[in-house]
Amino acid sequence: MKIAIYPGSFDPVTSGHLNIIRRAAHIFDKLIVCVMVNAVKNPMFSQRERVELIRRVTADLPNVEVDSSNELLAEYARRRGGCVILKGLRAVSDFESEFQMALINRKINPGLDTMFLTAESEYMYLSSSIVKELGSYGVELSEFLPSEIIPDFQERIEKKKKFQGGT
């Protein structure tokens, strides 16, 4: 069975992430989407919430599992029987650090390959941090986030604004 692992911070999962997940679910027998807990210092959503949001938007994909880990990715992949790390590549700027990570992961776990899916052109510019920035200015988000999670996202933005405003 070909198991791929798609790691990231997913704070929150965007339409760009979901596009990669859907395409990969067609390619591999099983796809494990793994929320890596150390990746973000001050996340908007907790690790458990991020897992729950991804589960909600992938509920129709039976071969997708959502998990979280604070292990080294190469060790996590070994433990889960993953043979491929899957990454999405947006622009050339993603390439250098991804190339370095791929080589290091393979050094730690020689059975492990990294594969890249190129971002869909409409999502090339999209990142979780840009969505958070846009959300704070009240921009309409239906092009950027899966519709099922927009209410959760907006509620979190409102809470943050109230907290910052001291009300």
Nearer to ligand ADP, 59 or 125 (CB): 125
- Does 64 contact ligand ADP by CB under 6 A? no
Minimum distance from residue 27 beta carbon to ligand ADP (Å):
15
**Residue 46 known to be catalytic:** no
Tell me how far apart the alpha carbons of residues 148 and 123 are, in angstroms, rounded to a whole number. Answer: 18
Residue 45 and residue 53 in contact, taking contact as beta carbons nearer than 8 Å: yes
Among 25, 34, 85, 119, binds ligand ADP (CB under 6 A): 119
Choose one: 25-33, 41-49, 75-83, 125-133; the region binding ligand ADP (CB under 6 A).
125-133
Tell me how far apart the alpha carbons of residues 14 and 68 are, in angstroms, rounded to a whole number. Answer: 17
Q: Where along the sequence are the contacts to ligand ADP (CB under 6 A)? A: 8-10, 14, 16-17, 20, 87-88, 90, 94, 119, 123, 126-129
Catalytic residues: 17, 41, 90, 128
